[in-house]
Structure 1
């Protein structure tokens, strides 16, 4: 029994370790934006469309790869996605054309999408329903810490005045190592830990189509995806534009404005692991936990707009709190996938939910870029984030009232 418990946590930590470095291949873009814009003469509006292309690619990939994760081995899907993403990043580091960067960033999104749902499938295979909130909380924490790692590496490279191209070359080296370790040591399910057979049963097109139909036909799940989409807009709006906002504050004269951005992903990581437990011990319900988190994040976002020129300590506190509440509820969203649709449809459900989230996030990027270009004020970002979080909270509140979700 003890060996089995140790084994499942070993698989969880291997999956977490791999995903800990996945964002080095996509959250690095915001840090390269300002210098790239100046070097290649790209407007912020077009930068928004480049960001849009990656998120659209990721969204399309999630729709496909989530279902594939239910039928094929995550052991191969995750490393293949990582290696191809690394290739796209290296390609961008040698590019001089904005359209070329846009196309490569789109394909990078496709390849990056090959990891999250397969990782979730591994967790669902190893953990029983009563433990999944905790497991998904830790998994989501790894994603949050991946932003921390990426921000930290990017801040160090930026502080050393390295050119923006290095932001697409250095961080992904960590992903190369972690994905290779994953390939060597992961066992996607308990059955594969006792058997060398890894061949997946062949699935017909009708079976794949049936999986999509069952997931998309669940009204509760579809409504939940709307809240997730709004949350994703807020999260990616912060991740992408907060570095742009603070890099504009003459950071070389006061580097504290550069380092304070590190607190945003740190708060996200802490929130991810905390909300998985809060839903069980405090709120007794994943829907209540999401509603609360989004409402508080809305209040904090409006506060950031109000106090954006305040003392650095005030900004630091608000940023870490904003990260905590904008990302923490994601652990609850992921735990609801197997709870609503069952273990067999976990990959498909996570893929569709993530697809919808990134589709929404993609739509908001060019809008934010245009709004910032028009207003000449990056602080307007926090007003938009506040409205998005409030909408997510309201939608989840009404969904929580439905009788068929009382036990989730």
Structure 2
């Protein structure tokens, strides 16, 4: 009984320290959009070039997910997170002193790769500590940390923008918090229960088949799993819709002159707040309401997202309260289901391939997100109406809901002794 209590305590400690660390990771990634305007003015960089910088970061992140997810299965997830975090800090600081488009492009692409070292590794660490009976809840908390990281980054950036600070400060001050979080993670985190003296056993059938797989065979196992690849295509559309909200919807609500609409400027916070609340909620929704049927939970969330996007399109939102509510609910339903996507990796592949599986899945997510960026921009340029963003988001969410319906995972239990 005492051993079980001690293990339970360590379980939560490892989850919370991983969440706390990832809570500050977006300070080194979602800060770029807020710096774009000042960067274009000071360095005479066009918005088209800004778009290519953003695209390159997302592609660097996607490629990194494909590589680093597998590395997380073979090396220490803790070391992977620490390495990626500190290298990301170096890239951000270097950009703050850069004066050329080419240098910023290279550094921001590298930053995308380094940032990719954290998510799959953190997922691996959490899967090592939490069995399938509670994994939906654990990943819900973890995904909430990612959503909350957007809130935190938006808040810091808004403060600096309203104080009319240089765009360079957006790459200097926020990432100091990431450095502090990494130091705490270094001291507290452990990659596996065995490093704290706990013995674990697994009856997951997939684990027994993948115990001694080499890295090539691990990728073959992942890409050969039809249900998992279908789920990866589904998260691609979910991620495209998510980034459609994060990067383009504020343009629709705020307009160009943010100094004369500071109230509207703060409304942007409701999107990531909704995402954070949605993430933790869908972890419980999946486990309790849908009895661990991840596909059904995801489909429900994306159908709701589709409906809300259509509602925003057809109903004008001149009042702040209504606009805030719609932004919150759109973030809630478009991002919440992502917490259920990550649990599909251990559910379908077993815990031995969690890092590789989540890396592949996140690669799909960010390749689709990168492709979606110019598509959303083209829609706005062609129609001249930013409200058409919501029609596009509605269609994308509907496609995700349809695709995920073909995935019905079998849940295998992992027993901790």
TM-score (norm 2): 0.90
Aligned residue number for residue 200 of structure 1: none
Aligned residue number for residue 201 of structure 1: none
Aligned residue number for residue 235 of structure 2: 228
1:50 Cα deviation from its structure 2 partner? 1.2
- Aligned counterpart for 2:90 among listed residues 73, 77, 87: 87
Alignment partner of 1:61 is 2:69: no
TM-score (norm 1): 0.92
> In the TM superposition, what whole-angstrom CA distance separates every residue of 1:127-186 from its partner, at most 9, and x where no partner exists?
111010110110011111111111111111111111222111111111111012111211
1:96 Cα deviation from its structure 2 partner? 2.4
Closer, same or farther: CA 29–247 of 1 in aligned 2, 3 Å? farther
SS across alignment from 1:70: helix
Aligned residue number for residue 40 of structure 1: 43
Structure 2: how far apart are the matches of 1:391 and 1:299? 13
Closer, same or farther: CA 56–171 of 1 in aligned 2, 3 Å? same
- Aligned counterpart for 2:195 among listed residues 182, 185, 192: 192
Residue ranges of structure 2 left out of the alignment (5+ in a row): 199-211, 413-417
Structure 2: how far apart are the matches of 1:190 and 1:246? 47
Matches within 5 A, 1:110-189: 110-189=113-192
1:219 Cα deviation from its structure 2 partner? 0.3
Closer, same or farther: CA 45–368 of 1 in aligned 2, 3 Å? farther
Structure 2: how far apart are the matches of 1:236 and 1:106? 18
1:308 Cα deviation from its structure 2 partner? 5.6
Residue ranges of structure 1 left out of the alignment (5+ in a row): 196-204
Aligned residue number for residue 73 of structure 1: 76
Structure 1: how far apart are the matches of 2:349 and 2:184? 31
Aligned residue number for residue 225 of structure 2: 218
Aligned residue number for residue 415 of structure 2: none
Structure 2: how far apart are the matches of 1:152 and 1:323? 16
Closer, same or farther: CA 261–307 of 1 in aligned 2, 3 Å? farther
Aligned residue number for residue 101 of structure 1: 104
Structure 2: how far apart are the matches of 1:15 and 1:301? 33
Question: How many residues were matched structurally?
Answer: 396
Alignment partner of 1:311 is 2:334: no
Whether the 8 Å contact between 1:30 and 1:239 is mirrored in structure 2 is: no
Structure 2: how far apart are the matches of 1:392 and 1:228? 7
- Aligned counterpart for 1:344 among listed residues 341, 344, 352: 352
1:292 Cα deviation from its structure 2 partner? 1.0
1:75 Cα deviation from its structure 2 partner? 1.6
Structure 2: how far apart are the matches of 1:381 and 1:244? 10
Aligned residue number for residue 4 of structure 1: 7
Structure 1: how far apart are the matches of 2:296 and 2:52? 35
Query: How large is the RMSD of aligned CA atoms in angstroms?
Result: 2.0
1:30 Cα deviation from its structure 2 partner? 1.6
Aligned residue number for residue 274 of structure 1: 281
Whether the 8 Å contact between 2:347 and 2:409 is mirrored in structure 1 is: no
